[in-house]
Amino acid sequence: MEKRRTTLDREPLSSEYIKDRQDFSSVLKGFKASQIPLWKSTWFYGSVGLAAVAAVLSITNLLHNTKKHDLKSTPLQVATYNVDQDSPPASDENNAVLERSQETDPSVHAIKESDPPDVPEKEVSRTVAPESKAEDHVDQLVVAEDRPDEPVHRVSEPVNPEPVYPKKTMATLVGVVDGPVFVGSLCASDGIECNDGSTVLSYTIQYNNGMGEDAIETIRGRQISSYMCDKIRRYNVNQEILITRIIVETPDGSRKMVPSIRIVPTY
Amino acid sequence: MAVNPVYHQSNTKLREELDWIRDAKKDPERFGPLYSKYHEQIFRYVYQRMDDEDLAFDVTSQVFIKAMSNIRKYEYRGVPFSSWLYRIAKSELYQSFRDRKARRTVNVESTHLFEMIEEFDEDDNAENKVKLMRILSTIREDDLQLIELRYFEKRSYREMGEILDITENNAKVRTFRALDRLKKQFLK
């Protein structure tokens, strides 16, 4: 079966004839027609698509960051009420209680943390959950500015769940908050001290008791016992010891938790 | 018949051509000199393989449009610009056959047939010519391409290799094998 046609001695075309049929302008026209406009090309769509995705991501990120920033800088709603009132409401009901209280009791008013511009956010008091007193869930006693004779409890609902402590009260061990401490000085000291005259009521210490794992003990008072000193001397030299949940009583009688201490006993 | 007289061009001409190519890369409208230089060669290559003259001109134009579109990709690495155009022409030609716009045709001259029959050590008579033409219309396309390039268009193995994108030696070997298969069919 014949696949293709065979021609014998076809009349050849002259070079002049072929030259006459040359038409570069029509080729150029065809070339221009065959060119895909930039906006129709895959490259264009790819680039634009990529740019759009990048823009959306950037905007989302920016909005997210702005939101985060706004949340951080949102003033805390603080309800105040009389000291002789019952225990403060649950924190998630604070707003409702605040509104009700403002309507019914003129002595109750809201204080915004941001009101005093010089008070940094970290100074916002928060509920300390100490041991077993009825008023333990009460944050601290404060005095309303307009009625200094009426002490009020302040209950706050911090947006940031991270504990915030009064800046001024710091507990130290041999004058150290974070760093190395000579074992001798540690054992000879009177224990944990506060820089503002507050008394340490209890603390939790995490150290190696020689039993192969870290012991976590809650100690009443501020002393480092001789038993503990012995363990520290034997098993904790050059190892980190954490002292956390340090509950102190301030000179005005309120209780609060102060920042933890991290020491490394050395010789 | 010397189909490709400008294949072996002087260094001056080659440099001039490379300048044209560089210009055409910057601005396709400056492809004109290259078009004028190679239009006839490419047309003859196309027309050799089809019977419709107008369609051959159309396919040739299409070859140059493709060349202008892809001129940026061309880099001179020893292979003449003409061989690059021939490769485009081959592609466009077979595309037109696939689109059924044109029918594959084998255009042969009596002298070519005579030379081949001589190579087969057979008598140059009308019967053998008809027989050879019939075989040429049925052999494999690859074999026909090689025979056309070598025996009908008188191209060197080097140029054949460049057009078919194979080595010169490979072109030689393949051509001998194609001729051998043709001979076997002819002597059957």
The pair of structure tokens assigned to B114 is 């005579």
Confidence category of residue A83, pLDDT binned at 50, 70, 90: very low
B10-17: long-range pairs with CB below 8 Å, 24+: B17/B81
Instruction: Convert the pLDDT of each residue in A175-190 to its tens digit.
Output: 888 999 888 888 888 8
Would you give the DSSP letter of residue A39?
G
**A121 has a pLDDT exceeding 50:** no
Burial class of residue A115 (count of CB atoms within 10 Å of its CB; 0-12, 13-18, 19+): exposed
Residues A125, A163: Cα–Cα separation, whole Å: 9
Confidence category of residue A160, pLDDT binned at 50, 70, 90: low
| Other C-beta atoms lying within 10 Å of the C-beta of residue B107 | 19
Angle at A48 between CA A47 and CA A54, to 5 degrees: 90
**B178 has a pLDDT exceeding 60:** yes
CA distances from B158 to A6, B46, B163, B166, B172 (A): 27, 20, 9, 9, 9
Arithmetic mean of pLDDT, A148-158: 56
Residues of chain B with CATH 1.10.1740.10: 11-98
Residues B124, A237: Cα–Cα separation, whole Å: 111
Do A94 and A157 meet the contact criterion of CB atoms below 8 Å apart?
yes
Residues B28, B67: Cα–Cα separation, whole Å: 10
Domain map of chain A by residue range? 77-156, 171-266
The b/e string for A161-175 (b: 16+ C-beta within 10 A; e otherwise) is eeebbbeebbbbbbe
**A84 has a pLDDT exceeding 90:** no
**B40 has a pLDDT exceeding 80:** yes
Residues of chain A above pLDDT 70, percent: 61
pLDDT of residue A125: 43
Coil, helix or strand for B180?
helix
**A6 has a pLDDT exceeding 60:** yes
Instruction: Convert the pLDDT of each residue in B138-168 to its tens digit.
Output: 999 999 999 999 999 999 999 999 999 899 9
Residues of chain B with CATH 1.20.140.160: 110-187
Q: What is the largest CA-CA distance in chain B?
A: 57
ipTM of this predicted structure: 0.85
**A216 has a pLDDT exceeding 50:** yes
Task: Please provide the distance, in angstroms rounded to a whole number, between the alpha carbons at the two ends of chain A.
Answer: 105
Residues B52, B74: Cα–Cα separation, whole Å: 30
Instruction: Convert the pLDDT of each residue in B64-96 to its tens digit.
Output: 999 999 998 888 887 889 999 999 999 999 999
The pair of structure tokens assigned to B118 is 């001589």
Question: What one-letter code names the amino acid at A15?
Answer: S
Check B39 against A26: CB less than 8 A apart: no
| Other C-beta atoms lying within 10 Å of the C-beta of residue A45 | 11
Which residues of chain A neighbour B55 with C-beta distances below 8 Å? none
Instruction: Convert the pLDDT of each residue in A8-46 to its tens digit.
Output: 888 889 999 999 999 899 999 988 888 776 777 777 888
**A153 has a pLDDT exceeding 80:** no
In chain B, DSSP assigns E strands to 105-108
**B25 has a pLDDT exceeding 50:** yes
CATH-assigned architecture of domain A171-266:
Roll (3.10)
**A104 has a pLDDT exceeding 60:** no
Do A245 and A222 meet the contact criterion of CB atoms below 8 Å apart?
no
**B4 has a pLDDT exceeding 70:** no
SS3 assignment for A107-132: CCCEEECCCCCCCCHHHCCCCCCCCC
Residue with tokens 């920033």: A69
Bridge partners (DSSP) of residue A141 are A153
By DSSP bridging, strand A5-8 and strand B105-108 are: parallel
Chain A interface, best mutation among B38, B43, B58, B65, by max A CB count within 10 A:
B65
Chain A interface, best mutation among B38, B61, B72, by max A CB count within 10 A:
B61
Burial class of residue A106 (count of CB atoms within 10 Å of its CB; 0-12, 13-18, 19+): exposed
Which residues of chain B neighbour A5 with C-beta distances below 8 Å? 51, 103-106, 137
pLDDT of residue B148: 92
**A110 has a pLDDT exceeding 50:** no
**A172 has a pLDDT exceeding 60:** yes
Check B108 against A8: CB less than 8 A apart: yes
**A81 has a pLDDT exceeding 80:** no
Higher pLDDT among residues B78 and A255, named by residue: A255
Instruction: Convert the pLDDT of each residue in A219-239 to its tens digit.
Output: 888 888 888 888 888 888 888
Residues A109, B108: Cα–Cα separation, whole Å: 110
Arithmetic mean of pLDDT, B115-134: 87
Give the closest-approach CA distance of B29 to chain A in angstroms: 7
pLDDT of residue A43: 76
Confidence category of residue A97, pLDDT binned at 50, 70, 90: very low
Virtual torsion, Cα A57, A58, A59, A62, nearest 10 deg:
120
Chain B interface, best mutation among A18, A19, A26, by max B CB count within 10 A:
A18
Residues of chain A above pLDDT 90, percent: 12
Confidence category of residue A151, pLDDT binned at 50, 70, 90: low
Which CATH number among 1.10.1740.10, 3.40.449.10, 1.10.20.10, 1.10.287.3510 corresponds to the domain B11-98?
Answer: 1.10.1740.10
Confidence category of residue B38, pLDDT binned at 50, 70, 90: very high
pLDDT of residue B188: 81
Which residues of chain B neighbour A27 with C-beta distances below 8 Å? 35, 61, 64-65, 68
Residue of chain A with shortest Cα separation from B53: A13
The pair of structure tokens assigned to B98 is 């696939």
Helices (H), ranges, chain A: 15-20, 24-34, 42-73, 94-104, 183-188, 226-235
pLDDT of residue A146: 53
Q: List CB contacts of B4: < 8 A, sequence separation 6 or more.
A: B41, B82, B153, B155, B159
pLDDT of residue A232: 86
Least confident of A53-62, A140-149, B117-126, B159-168: A140-149
Coil, helix or strand for A47?
helix
Which residues of chain B neighbour A34 with C-beta distances below 8 Å? 65, 69
Query: Where does B110-187 sit in CATH, by number?
Result: 1.20.140.160
